[in-house]
Amino acid sequence: MPLTLFRDRLKKDWRYQKDVWSSVMDWTIVLYLIFPALFFSGLFYRSLWIHPPEWFDMINPLSWVLLFFLFTLSGKWRTYLFEADSVFLTKRPEWINQILQSAWFYNYFASFVFSFAAFILLLPYTVGLLDATILQNVLLLLMLTIIRTLCKVCLSWINFSFAGFKNGWRGAAFLGSLFIFCTLILAGIAYTPLLVLIAVPLLFYLVRRVFNRTMADPKWLPNHGLQEAKWKVRWIRLIFSLSKEVETPPHTKFRTRPLLFRKSRRIIRPMTPVTGMLELFLKHHIRNPKFIYYYLRILALIVLAAIFIPISWLFIAAAALLALGCSAIHKMMWETLIEKHSIGVKYRFDKSYEQGKNWTAAVMFTPIVLIALTALFL
């Protein structure tokens, strides 16, 4: 019965996601966008096998480790346990345990599918240039699956156990340790593959033990329900966020004492209409750093593009796309304060508002331009 319940929920979730994408993807999008993209991507992948590009030789070991590390990142642990289960399944702990164990195998399989897709994409480089053996390629696939599953378990457990600043620094510490571990694993696959092969069953056992000691604990049942509710609507939330005409409820959260500027003193003197706009911008987004996180991700992606894309024109195209993303983030940051605010909207056509936007745009785009110029001329 618990396995049947898990299987039914899995099928319903896949049907729900299919209906979500069917609502925005009609036959014209499939015919004129998806099919041509798949066709030309296949031609490009074939060309990597026949004529390996020159920029393959420019990929250094650090770039390879970063790429492997990025493929392992994932915090999406699906259990298909709902919030109501904390009421209706409380008297059946064996059901909860069997659903969690079923979710364990499902998440491992999902990690394997993603890892296999990434492994196929990397084959022209690993086989065509590095001349990796069959054993080394198999170990690469297995280790990518194991480490990605471990990342899912640990990041979800950190999100369950800690909040606020503790969540941030523990997550950063785990990711730093994971990067070092990925470096050691790749070095082992390159130089001592037999030793890594011996370690594979031990790592499988280690990940299972970590899961049983963390995510399989019944006390996290409400957290599983909250996370599942969030992951279920992730695609429809993305679609609504890209729609200009869909009214969404405002983001609300409990107010806490801010870490910086607690007494709301002035930080820019002398006080003028322009500096007032800048101070409003700084205080709000430092206390609510959601958009700052998005901006830092843009900077990180530009740095990674500078490392992984040695072709200048291709890097310029990638940097231009990221600059457009930065422009969209900058626009949303000001819309939150002025254009979509019930009180701040009266300053929408004020001259100081436009000047403040110009100053913040210059500050946000300067690091992007400097990184792009450094990558092109060094």
Residue 169 has a CB neighbour count (10 Å cut-off) of 11
pLDDT of residue 257: 54
Identify the DSSP state of 340. Answer: T
Dist CA 215 CA 223 (whole Å): 10
Q: Which amino acid is at 325?
A: G
Dist CA 162 CA 178 (whole Å): 19
**Strand (E) or helix (H) holding 272:** none
Contact by Cβ (8 Å): 78, 103: yes
pLDDT of residue 366: 93
Inter-axis angle of helices 351-377 and 312-334, nearest 10: 160
Contact by Cβ (8 Å): 73, 176: no
Cβ-count burial of 203 within 10 angstroms (0-12 exposed, 13-18 middle, 19+ buried)? Answer: middle
Dist CA 233 CA 351 (whole Å): 40
For residue 159 the two structure tokens come to 């999100």
Residues of the chain with pLDDT under 50: 252, 254
Contact by Cβ (8 Å): 2, 99: yes
Contact by Cβ (8 Å): 363, 357: no
Dist CA 173 CA 179 (whole Å): 10
pLDDT of residue 163: 55
pLDDT in tens, 200-257: 999 999 999 988 888 887 777 888 887 888 888 877 777 766 665 555 555 545 455 5
Long-range contact set of residues 343-347: C-beta below 8 Å, sequence gap at least 24 = 347/277
The answer for residues whose C-beta is within 8 angstroms of residue 189's C-beta and 6 or more apart is 136, 139, 140, 143, 196
Contact by Cβ (8 Å): 95, 2: yes
With the C-alpha atoms ordered 255, 259, 264, 266, is the resulting torsion angle positive or negative? negative
pLDDT in tens, 264-302: 667 777 778 888 888 888 888 877 778 888 888 888 888
Specify the residue for token string 């939150």: 336
| Sheet strands (E) in the chain | none
In terms of pTM, does the model score above 0.85? no
